[in-house]
A = this chain, B = another copy of it.
């Protein structure tokens, strides 16, 4: 061991930063607030992460590294298309219910700074659509599903799974449902969404 104390403080900081950044975004977060939540002196944030930007990047990368493997399941798994859609939809919605801030955080911050994705590509295992593309093309050729491009299907799958979490305040207002009812709707989507997609592409 080169360090005498274990990295408890460093982890506390990252955890606190995660909560604050995900709730308020890069611009809305305050270093003092993160320090308070971590119950340490503000100078420690800079001691361990040098700057707000670098602390933010550490949080973002960690969040992204949590999300990316989920998406990998639909792009590079070996199962059939129908199984993939069923499994992904069920697993992904379960996953996000446990991390409700995640998709919005990532989408929001990528919109704020789209170039950021390049930095991520070098650090986090990044799924590719190639395999999924071949699979969809094959099924279209075989006539088992309607004619659709892999990209459009991919967008549709992501949209139906992620959007309800990202736009929840908007949907709640328009659909006129309270928090409890909305949670029930999301829970039901674990099954509803895959039925919807499979129906949409089945011939």
Contacts and interface: CB of A to CB of B under 8 A. Distances in A.
Interface residues of A, number: 59
Interface stretch (A40-48, A86-94, A158-166): A158-166
Interface stretch (A6-14, A50-58, A170-178): A170-178
A144 to B, nearest CB: 14
Contacts of A154: 171, 174-175
A81 interface: no
- Count copies of this chain in the complex: 2
Contacts of A128: 176
A108 interface: yes
Contacts of A121: 173
A176 B107 contact: no
Contact of A200 (B151, B152, B175, B197): B197
Q: Is the interface of A mostly helix, strand, loop or mixed?
A: helix
B28 A166 contact: no
Given A151-B177, A155-B185, A108 B110 contact: no
Nearest to A202: B199
A107 B166 contact: yes
A163 to B, nearest CB: 4
Contacts of A170: 106-107, 110, 117, 158
Interface in A131-159: 146, 148-149, 151-152, 154-156, 158-159
A183 interface: no
Contacts of A158: 163, 167, 170-171
Nearest to A110: B169
28 contacts: A24-B27, A25-B112, A27-B27, A27-B28, A71-B174, A75-B174, A107-B169, A110-B169, A111-B166, A111-B169, A114-B169, A117-B173, A130-B176, A151-B175, A151-B185, A152-B196, A154-B171, A154-B175, A155-B185, A156-B160, A156-B196, A158-B163, A158-B171, A159-B160, A160-B160, A166-B166, A196-B200, A199-B200
